[in-house]
Amino acid sequence: MESKYYHTKTQQEWDWLFKHFNLVNENPEEYKWSINGMNTLVETPSYGTNNWAYYSVHLGITDFIEVSDLMKEEKQDKIIFTKEEKKEFDELKKDWATISGALGDIYHGHDFYNLHHSIYSKQNTTKSINLKELEFARAWAHPDLIEVKEARFAYKLKPEFIKMFNVTRSYLGINGNCQTNPQYYTAKEWKKVNDDLKVIFDRVEKRMTIYIVMAQKNSQEKYFGLRAFKSKKTAQIYLQFNQDIKGRIIKTNVVDYEEVK
């Protein structure tokens, strides 16, 4: 593995670098940052003891990495995607070289319902949409910052058991007890719940009815999802104002659930 040089201008950067690369300093009283101060360069991997060595920039080494830049990169906030959003993101990356093309596809609903709903939901304000577009742009430029989070669902006592137990607190709580407010579980967490409790609780799902305009480029091709609307009337108006589109409307349901955001 090729050696690299890292410029540590402060004691904090020196400490961070050692922790970041799991470097061991067996003699901190002798080998310390203060010897060369802000001119300190750390080499790793290295033939030195414990795979590192350090020098001064005055030795003429010019090809080095600023540790301060590495620290800034680490501090960047993660961009949270659901599994479905990440799948759509990856598809867009394959199809588009520019972010403008990708956002255009998302806005017009080309089979990217989850990202469309996240960014362009009618419930979002103009300011919120702008911020979500900027967040998407950050993900587009730095896909390594994307962190996929699982969807979480709440569980509620089945109606017959609410009546049997005569309770008002009907949501499954963290310790198996019932509580007033929903407690959300990932699929992995739900598997750990006692089997006896699984029998009397149902997953809470809010089903949304949406109307998808299906279109085809020509009569020889299959229909594809063009745009999604919350009302059939809006979908019909869209087709009326876009008469060049050979389209039809289908009605379907999607599950609206709590995401880890």
pTM of the model: 0.42
Reported as a single tens digit per residue, the pLDDT across 130-140 is 888 988 998 99
User: Does residue 221 carry a pLDDT above 50?
Assistant: yes
Q: Is the dihedral of CA 29, 33, 36, 37 positive or negative?
A: negative
Question: Rounded distance, CA 150 to CA 39, Å?
Answer: 46
99 and 140 Cβ atoms separated by less than 8 Å: yes
pLDDT: is 23 or 226 the higher one?
A: 23
Residues sharing a CB contact under 8 Å with residue 221, sequence separation 6 or more, in sequence order: none
Q: What is the largest CA-CA distance in the chain?
A: 81
Non-local (6+) Cβ contacts of 133 within 8 A are 103, 119
Q: What is the mean pLDDT of residues 98-118?
A: 85
Q: Which residues is 253 bridged to in the sheet?
A: 209
pLDDT digits over 154-198, tens only? 888 998 988 888 888 888 876 678 888 777 787 778 888 889 988
CA distance 189 to 248: 41
Q: pLDDT digit string (tens) for 246-258?
A: 677 777 665 544 4
User: Who wins on pLDDT, 84 or 230?
Assistant: 84
| Structure confidence at residue 208 (pLDDT) | 60
Report the range of poorest mean pLDDT among 11-20, 30-39, 157-166, 203-212: 203-212
- Is the pLDDT assigned to residue 40 strictly greater than 60? yes
